[in-house]
Amino acid sequence: MKEVDLVVIGGGPAGMAAAVKAKEKGVQDVLILERENSLGGILNQCIHNGFGLHYFGEELTGLEYAARFIDKVHRMNIPYCLETMVLNIGSDKTVTAVNSTEGVFTIKAKSIILAMGCRERTRGALNIPGTRPSGIYTAGTAQKYVNIYGYMPGKSVVILGSGDIGLIMARRLTLEGAEVKMVCELLPYSSGLTRNIVQCLDDYNIPLKLNHTVVAVHGKERLEGVTVAEVDQNRKPIPETAEFVPCDTLLLSVGLIPENELSRDAGIELDPVTSGPVVDARMETSVEGIFACGNVAHVHDLVDNVSNESELAGESAAEYILGINVPDRSETIVVKAGNGIRYTVPQLIRKQSLSRDTVKIFFRVADVYRNVRLAARCGNNILVERKRIKVTPGEMETLELKSQDLREINAGEELVIELRTDGEGH
């Protein structure tokens, strides 16, 4: 069996950043396994710009952003296998994969970084009733048809869900000559970035219908239309508001799900809210030596954050392999999503891993709130607090905590991330 120090599963932005960082930190033997025919992951179909403002300090297209990391991988001579599908990860850190040159092969790794990304939620997961014609695509699949294959999936389009990919596709399809009739969003707010709503919908006069959903799909062979209805406060469609909208295409941009089937088989503990592995502040999963980063850990809205998080995972894997700063796993602080918070990453902090000056907690709020404070609290002691005029679930939040403060928390105690209001909320 082939032995490798570090196997990185996935050659998208997360996998590349993690591999590069691990090699920089002294791991000689790194291997990236990528299922597609090139490195870059989903960035390869992102021909629009808006990437890199935070990480590179300049605005790049997805392809350009990916190219910078692909260059780093090449410059650092990090080997990678393309069109290679990982079939199984063992909790003993064996990785079994298949490709067309080597067939099925198993690698024994000292450490593994999970960077498999996510997939899109489908019509089936939403249980949208109606017929089953062609013309219904997830936004990312439509993006692939348009940007990679160069084909138009349709000419009159309704988009369900105001996730970023749906917003981007509303603009892309409009520029290609399609009529985008509306974007329906079940919630009273969009889950996409504000800049995308402005640049992709407002600039093209595409209506964003908040509190609206698709309640039925029509058409026997190709899609002929959808029924759209307003929803009440409980998100139940109001029958009187139902309206037939003729269209030949329905795009779904209704959420992303981390792809953790391999993690589950490896016995890695998953967080039911993020659908990603439970990780500590070093991005280590419940299985020692297996790390996770990027959209497999939790869905990000900016690739810049993915790169940063993945570098942390890469560095942590390097330390693990080289035997530096490896914490005793028994002493942990639980990070809890408190009032108004949907989830946090990390979900726990290992007390003995506080070798860096600060620890960043990423989290999402559960609803749109105005004039609130985001706080990290242990018991009655508030460690950090930040005022915010507006927070929305679509934009990931962070709080940076000082390690010296965290060291004072006893193992087993909870660090609560919460939203505090001055009485006016919402």
Partner 1 sequence: MYDVVVVGAGVTGAFIARELSKYRLSILVIDKESDVAMGTSKANSAIVHAGYDAVPGTLKALLNIRGNKMMKRISEELDVSFKMTGSLVVCFSKDGIFELEELKIRGFKNGVEDLEIIGADRLREMEPNISPNAVVALYAPSAGIICPYELTLHAMENAVENGAELKLECELSGISYDREVFRLETTKGVIECRYLVNAAGLYSDTVAEMAGDHSFRINPRKGEYVLLDKIYGSFVNRVIFQLPTDKGKGVLVTPTVDGNLLVGPNAEDIDDKTDTSTTSRGLSEVINVARLSVPSLDTRGIITSFAGLRATGSTGDFIIGPSPVNNKLIHAAGIESPGLTAAPAIGEMVADVLKKNGLKLEDKPDYCPYIEKYTPSRKMSESQWNEAVKKDPAHGRIVCRCEKITEADIVASIRRTIGARNVDAVKRRTRAGMGRCQGGFCSPRVVEILSKELGIPFEEVTKSGGKSVFLLKKTK
Which residues have a Cβ under 8 Å from the Cβ of 141 and sit 6 or more positions away? 120
Task: Kindly tell me which residue out of 141, 191, 274, 307 binds partner 1, with binding defined by CB under 8 A.
Answer: 141
How many residues bind partner 1 (CB under 8 A)? The answer is 50
Min dist. Cβ of residue 116 to partner 1 (A): 9
Min dist. Cβ of residue 66 to partner 1 (A): 18
Residue 418 phi/psi, 5-degree rounding, is -150, 165
Task: Kindly tell me which residue out of 53, 108, 110, 145 binds partner 1, with binding defined by CB under 8 A.
Answer: 145
Structural contact between residues 17 and 310, judged by C-beta atoms closer than 8 angstroms: yes
Is position 57 an interface residue for partner 1 (rule: CB under 8 A)? Answer: no
Min dist. Cβ of residue 227 to partner 1 (A): 11
- Closest to partner 1 by CB, 57 vs 177, is 177
Residues 396-415 within binding reach of partner 1 (CB under 8 A):
none
Torsion from C-alpha of 368, 370, 374, 377, nearest 10 degrees: -90
Rounded CA-CA distance 361/154 in Å is 42
Min dist. Cβ of residue 377 to partner 1 (A): 31
Cα separation values, 317 from 8, 19, 30, 288, Å: 10, 9, 11, 10
Is position 234 an interface residue for partner 1 (rule: CB under 8 A)? Answer: no
Task: Kindly tell me which residue out of 76, 98, 198, 324 binds partner 1, with binding defined by CB under 8 A.
Answer: 98
Which residues have a Cβ under 8 Å from the Cβ of 97 and sit 6 or more positions away? 33, 81, 84, 85, 86, 87, 104, 105, 106, 107
Which residues have a Cβ under 8 Å from the Cβ of 395 and sit 6 or more positions away? 193, 194, 301
DSSP 237: B
Q: Within 10 Å of residue 243's Cβ, how many Cβ atoms?
A: 11
Task: Kindly tell me which residue out of 25, 72, 110, 144 binds partner 1, with binding defined by CB under 8 A.
Answer: 144
Rounded CA-CA distance 183/178 in Å is 14
Pairing, β 49-51 against β 94-99? unpaired
Is position 238 an interface residue for partner 1 (rule: CB under 8 A)? Answer: no
Is position 74 an interface residue for partner 1 (rule: CB under 8 A)? Answer: no
Is position 71 an interface residue for partner 1 (rule: CB under 8 A)? Answer: no
Torsional class of 54: left (φ above 0), alpha (ψ -120 to 50), beta (otherwise) = alpha
Is position 264 an interface residue for partner 1 (rule: CB under 8 A)? Answer: yes
Degrees, nearest 5: CA angle 250-251-255: 140
Min dist. Cβ of residue 212 to partner 1 (A): 16
Q: Which stretch binds partner 1 (CB under 8 A): 8-16, 149-157, 192-200, 375-383?
A: 149-157
Is position 90 an interface residue for partner 1 (rule: CB under 8 A)? Answer: no
Residue 124 phi/psi, 5-degree rounding, is -60, -40
Is position 165 an interface residue for partner 1 (rule: CB under 8 A)? Answer: no
Is position 119 an interface residue for partner 1 (rule: CB under 8 A)? Answer: yes
Residues 6-35 within binding reach of partner 1 (CB under 8 A):
35
Rg of the chain over CA atoms, in angstroms? 22
Structural contact between residues 114 and 292, judged by C-beta atoms closer than 8 angstroms: yes
Task: Kindly tell me which residue out of 87, 198, 238, 324 binds partner 1, with binding defined by CB under 8 A.
Answer: 87
Task: Kindly tell me which residue out of 2, 54, 74, 132 binds partner 1, with binding defined by CB under 8 A.
Answer: 132
- Closest to partner 1 by CB, 68 vs 144, is 144
Is position 48 an interface residue for partner 1 (rule: CB under 8 A)? Answer: no
Structural contact between residues 298 and 305, judged by C-beta atoms closer than 8 angstroms: no
Task: Kindly tell me which residue out of 74, 76, 92, 151 binds partner 1, with binding defined by CB under 8 A.
Answer: 151
Binding site for partner 1 (CB under 8 A): 35, 83, 85, 87, 98-104, 119-120, 122-125, 127, 129-135, 138, 140-141, 144-146, 148-155, 176-177, 215-217, 220-222, 248, 261, 264
